[in-house]
Structure 1
C-alpha cells in the first residue's frame, strides 16, 4: 500500500465519521495516513505494542484478481524478517475490506524528513542506502520485488531505516482498476522498464534505490517533478539531473540509475559501494545517525495516543436455531467496519468485550481455510513482542478464547423403554470393560523386589520414581499414577500425581577468540571447540556463515539479550548470514538439530593485509538444551 505509516502535517489524525472504530478486534486510536490503496490506522496489541493497521480500499477489495494476488503477497510478506523491514504481524485477506497489520515504526518517512528539514548529510545517506539495501536482500530472498520503493515507504527509526509496503503494489498490477486508469506506483521513483510496462525484476528496486539516494542527498527527485507523463518520459529517455550531488555518492547513485537493468549493481554490490564511499570495509551505525532535527521527530511519534476506552457491551444473544453463521472472522457482538450510510456501532475489543477470558487478537488462533486459488496461510508465530511474523487467523467462533454463544436447551423428550434398556446394556458393558482394564493396569504396576515397576506397554521393568509413590502413606502400595486405586475402593478417584519438575537448563560453556577460517567448520559437540575441515554445525565461506542440514541461524537485533531463552524462542530462521549483514558485536544464535544451542558473537574479520580470510568469534554453547524428536 502506498502512503506509508505517516501523513504530512499532523502525525496522529483523529478518526473521521467514515472511519471504522475497530478492525477485527483491534480498536483504532488514530489515522496515520492514506494512500492509493487504502487508509492506515494506529492500534495496539493487548500487550500495548503499537501497530499500523492498513485497510484496503473497497473498490480494490471488490476485484477478485486483486484479492487473489493480495493473499499471495501477504503470505510472502509474512516470511520477510529483516532488521530493516517493518514485519507483517497479522492479516485477513478474506475480510469484506482486507487488511494487514505491521509493526508501528515511531519515525518520520524519508519524504517527510526531507520536506521539513532539507537534504541529508553524506554519512546519513550512506547509512540509509546500506540499510535499505539490506532490507532489499531479505525482500528479494522471499521472492518479492518491492515495485514501489520511494521516500514515503522508507521510515527513519532511531536505529536505522525501515522499508514498508514491500510487494503489495503487485496485487493491483493486472486488476480491472489498473486497466481503467488507476496508476500503482509513484512515477518519480519508477524504473524505465516499469514505466514502459516491461518485466519487473529485483534490478527495478535497485533503480528506485538510486532515486531514493539522490532524493535524500539533493532534496528533490533525480528526474524532476511535474506531470506523470513528463516524468516517465524523462526516466525512460533522459539522464538524471544530479547537479549538486556530493562526490562520494556519484558512483553509487550513477550505477544504480543505469537505464539497462543488467548494468545496475546487485544489492550486495550496492553495499560494497557504500563501504567504498565511506572509506570503510564495514559501515558502523552510530547511535545518532540522523540529523538532530530529524531525530527530534521520532520523539513526537513515539508518544502515540491510546484508543478511547471502550464501553462493555451486553453479552451477545444466542443465534436463532437454524441461522447461518456470520462472516469468517466476525466476533459475535463485536464492532465491524460500518457499511456506507449506516451508523457506527459501539467499539469493542477482545480484551474488554466480555466477562469471559479475553480472546487474543487476529493471528493467535488456528489459520483459516482459504478459498479456491488461495495459498494456505502459514501457521501462527509468536507475539509481535518477539518480532517474528504472526500468521493470519480468524478471531471469531471457534477461535481459542472466543466467547461461545449458548444455544437454548432443548425440551426434554420421553424416552422409550427400549431405549432405556439399550442404555443400561451399554453402561454395564463399559463398567465390565473398565474393571478388566483396571485389573491389567493394577498387575502391570506392581513393584518387583528391586523397587521397580513394570512398564504397562512393554512389560519390561523400569526404575520406580517419586511420581510412582506420590501421595501414598507409610506402608501403602505404590499406585500406578492413574488414580485408579482410590476409585477401586469405592472412594473418590484422586487426581493424577504431579509431573516431575522440569530439568534445569544446561550450564553454558564459553570459548573465546576463535578464528574460523574460510572453508573450516565448528561442531558444537566438540570440547574444546576447534575449527576443522568438515562435518561441522557451522562453517565460514566466501559469502559468510552457514549451517548444515537441520541447523538454523537467527541474527539477533540490537537490544535483544544474548541468552539461551532468546535463542530458543526466536523463529526468524535462516541458513545463511552474509558478511555484509554482520559487524563487530553482531550476535547469532545457532541450533544444530542435535539438541545443542550456541550464541556466536562477532569480534571482527581478518584485515586485508592478512593472507587468509577468517571471522573471529566468541562462542557460548549450551549442550543438550533442546529436545530432539526421535524418528518413529
Structure 2
C-alpha cells in the first residue's frame, strides 16, 4: 500500500511579543511597511534632509540645488538661430580705449601754419614796394636783394636830364640829328635831299619856287599852342602829329616838339630866319634835348 502522509504540524502562534535581537543588524524594511514585532527605528539622519515619517509614501531624494551666483552686468548678446555655441564677444569693460588722434591733429596744425605763411607772402608781394623808391634796403639775405633787384628792373627808368643848345643856325636844305653832341647842321649824305633822308629835324627851301618848311624824316612833329609850355611831359602828352609844317606858320618863340624814332625827345624853339640882304639863307633855333627818353622804335 501507499504510505500515509504525515500530518502537517500546526503553525506556531506566538503568544507574546518577542524580544528584539541585541546583536543582529535589523534588516531594511520594505518601503512603506514595518515588520511586526519591531519598534519604529529612529529617523535616519541625512545631511540637510529628514527621514520621512512612518507610513508616508516614499520620499524622493531631491537633487542638490546649485548655488546661485551673481550674473555679470553686461548685455547678453543675441545668438543667431542654428548655432549651438554663441560667438565669442568682449565686454565693454575690457575693450581697449581708442587711440588718440594726435597725428591727424598735428597735420592740421602744420597745414594751417603753412597756409598762413603762404597767405602772408602773397599779401606782401601785392603791397607797393617803397624800398625801391629809396634806393633799396639793407637786405639780410640774397633772396631779399634779388627781389629788390627784380622790382627795380621792372620799374621804368628815371627820366633823363635835359641838355640845352642855343642859337643853332641851320642853313637851307640842312638837317640835325638829336643824338649828336652838340647837334651840328649837315647835308643829307645820300644826296637824295633832306626830305628823304633820316634826320630828326631839317630845314627845307625850294630854290625855284621859294617854298620853305620845317620837317622830320625820322619821327613826328607837334606845333605847340601858346598856352602849352614846351617840356618832356607836354611832348609825351600831345598827339597832334605831323611830319612837316610851313615856315610861315611859325613866329619868333614858337615851340615844336620833336619826337625821334630813336627814342629822343626835344623842344625846338624857333628864333627866326636870316634877312634878305644876307649872303646865305638859314633859320635859328634853340634845342632842349632829352636823349633816350623813350624806347627806340623798331624799323
Q: TM-score range by the shorter chain?
A: 0.3 to 0.5
Asked which structure has the greater CA Rg, the reply is 2
More helix by share: 1
TM-score using structure 2 length: 0.45
TM-score using structure 1 length: 0.22
